[in-house]
Structure formats: C-alpha cells, structure tokens
C-alpha cells in the first residue's frame, strides 16, 4: 500500500482493499470475471465478491476496474480470471455497488499527468464508461445509446474529431462483437 494508493482510496471513499491471490483457471476467459466466477462457484462451491481492482498506469493515472473474484469455501480470496499481465497478487476492494450491474460500473480515476492530449482521452473514456453504465440495467440488458450522445461526449472531452471518430468506431465494433459473443442466451 503506497501513500499514493492510500490517498486515492481516501479521495474516492473506497472500501479498504486487501491483497488477492492470482490463480487463473484454464476455463476462464479474460474480461469475463463474473461468468468465470459463476462457473467456478457451480464447480467448486464458495462464493463471488464484486469490487474494484486497482491499477497504476505509470505517470498517467491511478484507476479502478470493476471486477469479480472467487472466494473459496475456506475463505481465500482468489482472482481466477486471466489478466493482461501475470501478477502474483492484486489489490482488491469489495464493493457491492459493482455487483448491481455485474461490472458495468464506472470506476474511479485520478490523473497523474498534465499532458492535455492524455487528459482529453481520459475524459472521453470516462464519459463513455458513464454512458455505458447509465444504459446498462444488468448483464446483457443494455438499452440503445444514440450516436448523438457518444459524439457529445467526444466534443465535451476536447478530442479532435478524427481521433474521436476512430475511437468511437473501435468502441462500437468491440461492443457489437461482445454482444454477439456473449448474448444472454449463449451464457452458461
């Protein structure tokens, strides 16, 4: 627990975090923590806890990511979902607000940079996350989001229009792919 992380937790009034062991399981998919944990609970018992992972992007930002971990029948807190890096341990803060929408919850962020381009990009991605959260009512229950609303977020963030257009195109193609791959009728 660094002083910077302690200040971040206090600034955003987050529940006290604790270390979590990272043990990805072979059947688990990246970015599918809720489904992974649901499947593990069915296989081995235990329970799920939703909350926040903490990430520091060097000299850019401190941020949280909505996440779900598995709690074994013996009470061990274990992250069974593969991460982009291969950490041995992560810092996790249990927070029931994350469970309400199964992770479609806007995280917290504290910028560490003064670069206006990076700050504009951060502002834009936060706005998209808030829009997504507002239009998601549970897993697989997303209402229509108008392009006008997404473009307004881009304008409000001061991103150049061409950059915003590319980011929106990438975001929308990712959303479409995820909807097709993980439709509620396809989830086990």
Query: How many CA within 13 A on the CB side of residue 10?
Result: 7
Query: How many CA within 13 A on the CB side of residue 167?
Result: 21
**What is the tens place of the pLDDT at every residue in 48-106?**
999 999 888 777 888 888 899 999 999 999 999 998 887 788 889 998 888 776 766 77
Instruction: Please report the beta strands in the chain, taking only residues with DSSP state E, as ranges in sequence order.
Output: 18-22, 47-57, 61-71, 77-79, 89-94, 109-111
Percentage of the chain surpassing pLDDT 90?
29
The pTM assigned to this predicted structure is 0.67
- Kindly list the domain boundaries of the chain, sorted by start residue: 3-110, 114-186
Given a contact cutoff of 8 angstroms between Cβ atoms, the answer to whether 5 and 56 are in contact is yes
Report how far residue 171's alpha carbon sits from residue 151's, in angstroms, rounded to the nearest whole number: 12
């Amino acid at each position: 627990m660094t002083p910077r992380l302690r200040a971040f937790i206090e600034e955003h009034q987050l529940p006290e975090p604790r270390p979590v062991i990272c043990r990805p399981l072979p059947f688990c998919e990246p970015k599918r923590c809720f489904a992974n944990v649901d499947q593990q609970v069915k296989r081995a018992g235990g329970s799920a806890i939703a909350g926040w992972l903490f990430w520091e992007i060097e000299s850019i930002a401190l941020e949280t990511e909505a996440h779900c971990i598995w709690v074994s029948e013996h009470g061990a807190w274990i992250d069974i979902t593969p991460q982009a890096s291969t950490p041995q341990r992560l810092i996790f803060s249990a927070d029931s607000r994350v469970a309400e929408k199964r992770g479609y919850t806007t995280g917290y962020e504290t910028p560490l940079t003064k670069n206006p381009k990076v700050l504009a990009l951060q502002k834009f991605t936060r706005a998209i996350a808030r829009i997504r959260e507002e239009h998601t009512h549970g897993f697989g229950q997303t209402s229509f989001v108008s392009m006008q609303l997404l473009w307004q977020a881009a304008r409000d963030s001061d991103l150049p229009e061409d950059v915003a257009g590319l980011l929106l195109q990438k975001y929308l193609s990712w959303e479409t792919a995820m909807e097709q791959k993980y439709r509620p009728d396809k989830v086990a």
